[in-house]
Amino acid sequence: MLNLWYNYILLFLGLIPLIGSGCIVFVGQRNIKLIRKIALNSSLFTLVLASLLWVQFDSFFFKFQFITKIVLIPSLDLNIYLGLDGISLLFVYLTCFLFPLCILFNWNNVKSLYKDYIILLLLMESFLILTFTSLDLLMFYVFFETVLIPIFLIIGIWGPRRRRIRASFLLFFYTLFGSILMLFAILVINLQVGSFDYQLLFLCNFSEIKQKFLWLCFFLSFSAKIPMMPFHIWLPEAHVEAPTTGSVILAGILLKLGSYGFLRFSIPLFPYASVYYLPLVYTICIISIIYSSLTAIRQSDLKKVIAYASVAHMNTIILGLFSLNIQGIEGSILQMISHGIVSSALFFLVGILYDRYHTRLLKYYGGIVQVMPVFISILFLCIFANCSLPGTSNFIGELCLFSGVAQDNIFVTIFGAFGIILSGVYSLWLYNKLSFGNLKVQYISKFIDITYREFHVLLPLLFLLILLGIYPNIIIEKLHLISLYYKI
């Protein structure tokens, strides 16, 4: 029995939301209560299982744990091959943690096609879990691509404005362009190794020219996902046009797919190329940090500010990853998790404003502290976490990260740390504009503070934010063994 648990738990974890969405298919369109119940219960059940995994995970065991292997096509060497290590455990937990909150947030603010929305959300959850746990390179690609289809439909159908179609197309094709080159790279790898098994690929050496080419292919795919500088156009568009939960998942998890890909594939499989391309990565990261921070300052749309802020943060994370030492790697992973928490909390907050007043433009807001005190105090915490105030998880992450980068290159650190100052500028500016000043009664006349449900959506996020700021060891102790591997 225990054996069965260990061997199939990951597949089970990935399939529960799928089964949930399969159940919802047979529920009538009008029966919203039952749909909600099934969706929330299945996603909560996933969270419980993920917590069990968290408890059972042995952080002193170097290999992959809970390995599931199911042979789909023996002659083509196509397997579903899942496993968990410290990194993927964190991302799986983040996924399982965010989705119940999303479903809870959408309790009654999706006006049309609620059933389809929930089905797509659950499908996305299961594909994300499978992506983060799959150890088979081809299957990783398959799930990585499949996640695109639900988010494409979510933005395209439920986006609030007409421009949503452009946004969904941008999202789809920017990410597809990169990942189609990754398919090519995967095929080239398979041609040499003859297998897609990730643990087998560890043992292989690629020639230097091949490494450079393959790394570039992977880089194009992941950097479009993160997004790094030339490929970042889709992100603000997609965030602005997406419904709230769509952008929460986009910022919270989908962007992490890119950095996860770097961590899982690019750096370990092509160590020579990652060192070779280090200057390129550093340059692109610094440009995107400073550029997107400066752009964030001059936005008029609330969501765009947060979107550009998350571009800056994600690029800081990549800076940490490529410092290739323990502090940098651990700090950037911690920063990924805390960015997942903070940016999704911010998007929830903007979504709460949008649900009430149906605008996201900054000029219609002002002096909200007088009428929505609870909202503003939560926003206060999140904004200060966003500019990494000590006591929040972002602070620990950025401290570790930059101390790692400083060991490698001091100039890069200086430029990168400039992004922290700029993040303070746009975050405080945003907070100031929203909460203080005169109440603009000429635009908005009726104010409501956040409701009980919305408060409880935000509470777990705030709790984690503070907890990881005070005691980050919960996460970091899972990472010590893994990050040793990345040290050069």
Between CA 345 and CA 394 the distance in angstroms is: 13
196 versus 402: smaller Cβ distance to other proteins:
196
Least separation in angstroms between CB 63 and other proteins: 28
Select from 390, 310, 317, 294 the least CA-distant residue to 343. 310
Count of C-beta atoms within a 10 Å radius of residue 403:
16
Based on the shown chain and the rule CB under 8 A, indicate whether residue 204 belongs to the binding site for other proteins: no
Based on the shown chain and the rule CB under 8 A, indicate whether residue 74 belongs to the binding site for other proteins: yes
Least separation in angstroms between CB 154 and other proteins: 11
Interacting residues with other proteins between 450 and 469 (CB under 8 A) = none
185 versus 475: smaller Cβ distance to other proteins:
185
Assess contact for 224 and 231: CB atoms under 8 A.
yes
Least separation in angstroms between CB 166 and other proteins: 10
From 177, 443, 463, 471, residue interacting with other proteins (rule: CB under 8 A): 177
Based on the shown chain and the rule CB under 8 A, indicate whether residue 28 belongs to the binding site for other proteins: no
Select from 367, 83, 330 the least CA-distant residue to 199. 83
Based on the shown chain and the rule CB under 8 A, indicate whether residue 145 belongs to the binding site for other proteins: yes
Where b means 16+ CB within 10 Å and e means fewer, 143-161 reads: bbbbbbebbbbbbbbbbee
Least separation in angstroms between CB 88 and other proteins: 20
Based on the shown chain and the rule CB under 8 A, indicate whether residue 125 belongs to the binding site for other proteins: no
Between CA 211 and CA 266 the distance in angstroms is: 10
> Candidates 57-65, 147-155, 361-369, 471-479 — which segment interacts with other proteins by CB under 8 A?
147-155
Select from 47, 2, 40, 3 the least CA-distant residue to 20. 40
Alpha helices, H only, 443-487: 452-470, 473-486
From 18, 49, 180, 466, residue interacting with other proteins (rule: CB under 8 A): 180
**Pair of tokens at residue 312:** 């800056």
From 176, 278, 362, 428, residue interacting with other proteins (rule: CB under 8 A): 176
Alpha helices, H only, 322-392: 326-357, 373-386
188 versus 290: smaller Cβ distance to other proteins:
188
Based on the shown chain and the rule CB under 8 A, indicate whether residue 225 belongs to the binding site for other proteins: no
Least separation in angstroms between CB 369 and other proteins: 39
Based on the shown chain and the rule CB under 8 A, indicate whether residue 30 belongs to the binding site for other proteins: no
Label residue 61 exposed, middle or buried (CB < 10 Å: 0-12, 13-18, 19+).
exposed
119 versus 401: smaller Cβ distance to other proteins:
119
Based on the shown chain and the rule CB under 8 A, indicate whether residue 169 belongs to the binding site for other proteins: yes
From 2, 55, 191, 203, residue interacting with other proteins (rule: CB under 8 A): 191
**Pair of tokens at residue 78:** 């196509």
Place of tokens 């903007």: 350
**Pair of tokens at residue 448:** 């409501």
409-415: long-range contacts, CB 8 A cutoff, minimum separation 24: 409/282, 409/323, 412/282, 412/286, 412/319, 415/286, 415/289, 415/290
Least separation in angstroms between CB 157 and other proteins: 6
140 versus 262: smaller Cβ distance to other proteins:
140
Between CA 383 and CA 350 the distance in angstroms is: 12
- Please give the radius of gyration of the chain, using alpha carbons only, rounded to the nearest integer: 22
> Candidates 144-152, 250-258, 330-338, 404-412 — which segment interacts with other proteins by CB under 8 A?
144-152
Cα 34 to the chain's mean position, in Å?
Answer: 29
Least separation in angstroms between CB 70 and other proteins: 10
Between CA 28 and CA 322 the distance in angstroms is: 50
Based on the shown chain and the rule CB under 8 A, indicate whether residue 193 belongs to the binding site for other proteins: no
User: Per-residue x/- mask for other proteins, residues 404 to 443, rule CB under 8 A?
Assistant: ----------------------------------------
From 41, 109, 190, 195, residue interacting with other proteins (rule: CB under 8 A): 190
66 versus 143: smaller Cβ distance to other proteins:
143
Interacting residues with other proteins between 353 and 382 (CB under 8 A) = none
Based on the shown chain and the rule CB under 8 A, indicate whether residue 445 belongs to the binding site for other proteins: no
Least separation in angstroms between CB 256 and other proteins: 20
Based on the shown chain and the rule CB under 8 A, indicate whether residue 32 belongs to the binding site for other proteins: no
Max CA pair span of the chain:
70
97 versus 152: smaller Cβ distance to other proteins:
152
- Site size for other proteins (CB under 8 A): 32
Select from 216, 189, 363, 346 the least CA-distant residue to 276. 216
Based on the shown chain and the rule CB under 8 A, indicate whether residue 280 belongs to the binding site for other proteins: no
Place of tokens 């897609």: 196
Summarize as ranges the residues that interact with other proteins (CB under 8 A): 72-76, 138, 141-143, 145-146, 149, 152-153, 156-157, 164-165, 168-169, 172-173, 176-177, 180-181, 183-184, 187-188, 190-191
